[in-house]
Amino acid sequence: MSARPIATTRSAAGLPTGRLAVWWLVVSEIVIFGGLLASYIMYRLAHDAFAVQAAHTNTWIGAFNTLVLLTSSLSAVMAHTAAERGDGPKAARLLWATIVGALTFLAVKAFEWTEEIQHGFTITSSTFWSFYYCAAGLHASHVIAGAIVMMFVARDAARNRELHRVELAGIYWHFVDIVWIFLFPLLYIAK
Amino acid sequence: MAHAADVHAHAEHGHHEETTGLRKYLFSTDHKVIAMQYMFTGMAMALIGGFFAYAFRMQMAFPGMDVPFYGLVTPNKYNVLITNHGAIMIFWVAMPVLIAAFGNFLIPLMLGADDMVFPRLNRLSYQIFLLSAVILLASFFVQGGAFAGAWTMYPPLSAKAEYGLAPLGSSLFLVAVAFEFVAFLLGGINFITTTMNSRAPGMKMYDIPIVVWMIVVASILFMASVGPLIAGALMLFMDQQVGTAFFDPDKGGDPVLWQHLFWFFGHPEVYVVLLPAMGIVADIMTVFSRKKLFAYKTVLYTVFATGVLSFTVWAHHQFVAGIDPRMANIFTVTTLLISVPIAEMCFVYIATLYGGSITLTTPMLWALSFLATFLIGGVTGIFLGASGSDIYMHDTYFVLAHFHYTFVPIAIIGTFAGVTFWFPKMFGRMLNETLGKIHFWITIIAFNCIFIPLFVLGTAGDHRRIYDYTNFPDSSLPWMQDMRVFATYALIVMLLAQPIFLFNFFWSLFRGPKAGRNPYRANTLEWTTESPPPHGNWPVDQLPTVYRGPYEYNHPDSKEDYWPQNQPA
Interval B80-103: pLDDT, tens = 999 999 999 999 999 999 999 999
Residues of chain A with C-beta less than 8 angstroms from the C-beta of B234: 36, 134, 138
Q: Is residue B264 less than 8 Å (CB to CB) from chain A?
A: yes
pLDDT for residue B15 is more than 50: no
Chain B touched by A24 (CB under 8 Å): yes
B20 pLDDT above the threshold of 80: no
Q: Which of residues 459-478 of B touch A (CB under 8 A)?
A: none
Asked if pLDDT for residue B213 goes beyond 80, the answer is yes
What's the distance, CA B71 to chain centroid?
30
Measured between beta carbons, the chain A residues lying within 8 angstroms of B261 are 35, 39
pLDDT recorded at residue A106: 97
Quote the ipTM score: 0.93
- The mean pLDDT value for B10-27 works out to 58
3 state SS of B69? coil
Interface test with A, best of B1, B194, B197 (most A CBs within 10 A): B197
Query: B119 to chain A: which residues are within 8 Å by CB?
Result: 5, 8
- B317 band by pLDDT with thresholds 50, 70 and 90: very high
CA distance B396 to B461: 6
The predicted model gives B474-479 an average pLDDT of 90
| Cβ–Cβ contact B194 with A under 8 A | yes
Three-state DSSP at B525 gives helix
Q: Is A130 on the interface with B (CB under 8 A)?
A: yes
CA-based nearest residue in chain A for residue B14: A3
**Dihedral sign for Cα atoms in the order A123, A127, A132, A138:** positive
| Mutation for testing the B interface, residue in A28, A41, A47 having most B CBs under 10 Å | A28
pLDDT beyond 50 at B2:
no
3-state helix, strand, coil in chain B (%, to 5): 70, 0, 30
Question: In chain B, what residues touch A47 (CB-CB under 8 Å)?
Answer: 252
**Positive or negative torsion for Cα B509, B515, B516, B517:** negative
For helices B478-511 and B31-61, what crossing angle results, to 10°?
A: 150
User: Residue B492: pLDDT above 90?
Assistant: yes
The pLDDT confidence band at residue A4, using thresholds 50, 70 and 90, is: confident
Burial of B510 (0-12, 13-18, 19+ CB in 10 A): exposed
Taking the CB of residue A16, how many other CB atoms lie within 10 A of it? 14
Contact B234 A7 (CB under 8 A): no
Structural domains of chain B ordered from first start: 31-542 (1.20.210.10)
- On whether the CB atoms of residues B426 and B352 are closer than 8 A, the answer is no
- For the stretch B26-62, pLDDT in tens is 778 899 999 999 999 999 999 999 999 999 999 999 9
**B 219-248 residues with CB below 8 A of A?**
223-232, 234-235, 238, 242-246
Q: What are phi and psi of B66, to 5 degrees?
A: -75, 105
Show which of residues 116-175 on chain B sit within 8 Å of chain A, judged by CB atoms: 116-120
Chain A contact for B430 (CB, 8 A cutoff): no
Cβ-count burial of B215 within 10 angstroms (0-12 exposed, 13-18 middle, 19+ buried)? buried
Given a contact cutoff of 8 angstroms between Cβ atoms, the answer to whether A110 and A133 are in contact is no
- Disruptive mutation site among B13, B124, B190, B193 for chain A (greatest number of A CBs within 10 Å): B193
A51 touches chain B (CB under 8 A): no
Query: How far apart, in whole angstroms, are the C-alpha atoms of residue B427 and residue B87?
Result: 30
Contacts of B540 in chain A (CB under 8 A): 6
- C-beta of residue A173 within 8 angstroms of C-beta of residue A73: yes
Predicted confidence at residue A138, as pLDDT, reads 96
Residue A9: closest C-alpha in chain B: B9
Instruction: Work out the minimum CA distance from B119 to partner chain A, whole angstroms.
Output: 8
**Which B residues in the span 4-63 are in contact with A, Cβ-Cβ below 8 Å?**
6, 9-10, 13-17
Quote the Cα angle for B546-B552-B557, to 5°: 95
What is the C-alpha to C-alpha distance for residues A183 and A175, in angstroms, rounded to an integer? 12
Task: Note whether A138 contacts B234, CB cutoff 8 Å.
Answer: yes
pLDDT of residue B8 exceeding 50, the answer is no
**Overall average pLDDT of the B215-238 stretch:** 95
Strand partners, B396: B463
- C-alpha B526/C-alpha A153 separation (Å) is 37
A100-105 CB contacts, 8 Å cutoff, 24+ apart: A100/A72, A101/A68, A101/A69, A101/A71, A101/A72, A101/A75, A102/A72, A102/A143, A102/A144, A102/A146, A102/A147, A102/A150, A103/A147, A104/A68, A105/A65, A105/A68, A105/A69, A105/A72, A105/A143
Is B231 close to A27, i.e. CB distance below 8 A?
no
- Asked whether A123 and A129 are in contact (CB, 8 A), the reply is yes
* Domains of chain A by start residue, with CATH: 15-189 (1.20.120.80)
Chain B closest-CA separation from residue A188 CA (Å):
19
**Paired strand residues for B71:** B67
CA distance B246 to A39: 9
- Test A134 with B229 for CB contact under 8 angstroms: no
* pLDDT for A176 beyond 70: yes
Closest CA in chain A for residue B240 = A124
Substitution target from A10, A52, A175 for chain B, most B beta carbons within 10 A: A10
Alpha-carbon separation of residue B182 from A146, A177, B8, B540 (angstroms): 17, 22, 35, 33
User: Residue A85: helix, strand or coil by DSSP?
Assistant: coil
HSE on the CB side for A86, CA within 13 Å?
A: 0
Give pLDDT tens digits for B97-131. Answer: 999 999 999 999 999 999 999 999 999 999 999 99
Q: What is the pLDDT of residue B7?
A: 42
Q: Which of A109, A136, A126 is nearest to A53 (CA)?
A: A126
Best probe of the A interface among B189, B257, B314, by most A CBs < 10 A, is B189
Residue contact B227–A34, C-beta within 8 A: yes
Give the rounded distance of the alpha carbon of A85 from its chain centre.
Answer: 26
In this prediction, residues B196-217 reach a mean pLDDT of 95
Interface touch B224/A126, C-beta < 8 Å: no
Residue A1 has pLDDT above 50, yes or no: no
Chain A residues within an 8 Å CB radius of B240: none
- Give Cβ neighbours of residue B171 (< 8 Å, ≥ 6 apart): B237, B240, B241
Average pLDDT, stretch B408-419? 96
* pLDDT of B6 over the 50 cut: no
- 3-state percent helix, strand, coil for chain A, nearest multiple of 5: 80, 0, 20
> Which band of pLDDT confidence, cut at 50, 70 and 90, is reported for residue A143?
very high
Q: Closest chain A residue to B190 measured between Cα atoms?
A: A21
The gap between the terminal CA atoms of chain B, to the nearest Å, is 17
| CA distance between the termini of chain A | 52
Say how far apart CA B341 and CA B459 lie, in whole Å: 28
Q: Is A11 on the interface with B (CB under 8 A)?
A: yes
Cα–Cα distance for residue pair B553/B449, rounded to 1 Å = 37
How far, CA to CA in Å, does B357 sit from each of B16, B290, B352, B519? 43, 6, 11, 17
- CB contact under 8 Å between B227 and A6, yes or no, is no
What mean pLDDT is reported for chain B?
Answer: 92
> Helices (DSSP H) in A119-163: which residue ranges?
127-158
Q: Which residues of chain A are within 8 Å of residue B117 when distances are taken between CB atoms? A: 7-8, 10, 17, 21
Does residue B253 surpass a pLDDT of 90?
no
Q: Judge whether A98 and A76 are in contact, CB under 8 Å.
A: yes
pLDDT at B4 (0 to 100) = 42
**Beta-bridge mates of residue B67:** B71
